[in-house]
Structure 1
Amino acid sequence: MKLRGLRIEPGEIEAVLSTHPGVREAVVTAREHRPGDVRLVAHLTAAGSDGPPGPAELAAHLRERLPEYMVPGAFTVLDALPLTPSGKVDRAALPEPDGGRPQAAAPFTAPGDGLERTLAGLWRKVLGVERVGAHDNFFDLGGHSLLMAELRSVLASDAGHRVSMVELFQHPTVASLAAHLSRSEGEPSAAPGADARERAEHRRRAGARRQQAAVRRARS
């Protein structure tokens, strides 16, 4: 299948999931979480009597072996996979995943101050989930690079916070991003025109170096 322009082999994800000692069977499908937002969902049955592994554990197991875009955004644990009369997995009968806090890596911690609550609200808007905790990872809640780009736009338009994609990747939780914004926006800004002057000085020095190199070539 193709997802967000990337070719994905569900069988490869299923094979890696099945190597986890707590997984007996696994089936991976693509489901439309919201209009235009298609996500991978893993359906599995547990092996042994210790109960199924948690979503965070399964996601970590996959990330050690597969790229991020092949990690499902949600996991559902079933007593048994639904089968067709011919004995094949009935993919149409697989249940929809829980949309509350899919694949949440940390126990829910309510956002703290006003900035954390603002960011959590924007995450809910972008991710389409019901609850976002202060320490939930953006990707563990079903986020991906396209949604992160949308989050960057919403942060600027709805909250007036302008951040780069690199900053969002470096601070993937509400708490860490709030702390980063508090630190960076509390620092004095550069003097007006400083960036332009720096670029002009860089061009001047580069031109001088080229001129010196031309003189040396002429003398040789």
Structure 2
Amino acid sequence: MPDGIAGELWIGGLGVAHGYRGRSGLTADRFRPDPFGAPGARIYGTGDRVRRGPDGLEFLGRVDNQVKLRGHRIEPGEIEARLATHPTVAQAAVTLADPHGPRARLVAYVVPAAPVDAGELRAHVAQVLPGYMVPAEVVVLERFPLTPNGKLDRAALPAPTDVQASGPTKRATDTPARPAAPTADADASVAGTGDQTTNTVTAIWQEVLRIDDIGTDEDLFDLGGHSLTITQIAVRIRKRLGVDVPLDVFFDTPTIDGVVAAIADLREAR
């Protein structure tokens, strides 16, 4: 692979073993003819995803840890590596919660080195990774569960609803809550007051998130929002208020108050 592009690490040379003892199928899959070596030489597929940079190889995670979220293949190790660069994070792990359900989302687990701010960590990730790789929730743990050989036991990580998430987090109910229906005055607020705009934006968030009580200063991602949610909210704002809100606004100021302020700025700039 070219420098900077992720790929699986394969190892060749004299140190490559003959295979896995008593596991012929796995040996055939992981030990292949070496296209760069002498006749009969083999290379070994480690299952590690890496990329080559100026300082050598950077480990990005395991191939078998990849997850798929709304059509995107995601390597949690890339997100974990970014989280680990934040000064408040000692350790990080990322998993996909509710992978087959309506609220599939990325959850970041962190062992803190200092007090953790969930919004700050998400913004830190969003600086270098696309929106669909930004965790929807951040869960703080005193320590990570480990396997007998000392590796992270992902299967033993607690479900987000079983622990205290960082920041106020609300869950969508099993059945859609009854959102406050936007009034005609609110929909006509393209030229109306800030209060009318706030009412309309609040109603849109209630509909999309299926939550009937949202504070105007609550964080969209703490409420379970994600990149697809942002797109749905932006489309409804355009239809009801006639304003195209750039998607990065929701990452920079992920609250109703922040979005309403952005709408006011966009109207003034017309």
Conservation of the 8 A alpha-carbon contact between 2:111 and 2:143? yes
Structure 1, unmatched stretches of 5+, are 106-111, 186-220
SS of 1:167's equivalent in the other structure is coil
2:146 is aligned to: 83
Per-residue CA deviation, residues 163-215 of structure 1 (Å, 9 max, x unaligned), is 46x32637544235446778999xxxxxxxxxxxxxxxxxxxxxxxxxxxxxx
The change in CA–CA distance for 1:87 and 1:43 in structure 2 (over 3 A counts) is same
Percent identity, please.
41
The change in CA–CA distance for 1:24 and 1:183 in structure 2 (over 3 A counts) is closer
Using the size of structure 2 for normalisation, the TM-score is: 0.50
Q: Distance in 2 between matches of 1:23 and 1:57?
A: 11
Amino acid at match of 2:81: A
The question of 1:161 aligning with 2:240 is answered yes
Structure 2, unmatched stretches of 5+, are 1-66, 169-193
The question of 1:8 aligning with 2:90 is answered no
Conservation of the 8 A alpha-carbon contact between 1:45 and 1:52? no
Q: Distance in 1 between matches of 2:80 and 2:220?
A: 23
Higher relative contact order (CA 8 A, sep 6+): 1
What is the CA-CA distance between 1:149 and the residue it aligns to?
3.7
Using the size of structure 1 for normalisation, the TM-score is: 0.60
Q: Distance in 2 between matches of 1:142 and 1:37?
A: 8
Amino acid at match of 1:90: D
What is the CA-CA distance between 1:120 and the residue it aligns to?
2.5
Conservation of the 8 A alpha-carbon contact between 1:41 and 1:73? yes
Conservation of the 8 A alpha-carbon contact between 1:52 and 1:77? no
Q: Distance in 1 between matches of 2:245 and 2:159?
A: 33
Q: Distance in 2 between matches of 1:6 and 1:27?
A: 19
Between Structure 1 and Structure 2, which shows a larger proportion of strand residues? 2
Between Structure 1 and Structure 2, which shows a larger proportion of helix residues? 1
The question of 1:56 aligning with 2:122 is answered no
2:232 is aligned to: 150
Q: Distance in 2 between matches of 1:180 and 1:56?
A: 18
Q: Distance in 1 between matches of 2:68 and 2:133?
A: 11
SS of 1:89's equivalent in the other structure is coil
The change in CA–CA distance for 1:167 and 1:152 in structure 2 (over 3 A counts) is closer
What is the CA-CA distance between 1:78 and the residue it aligns to?
0.4
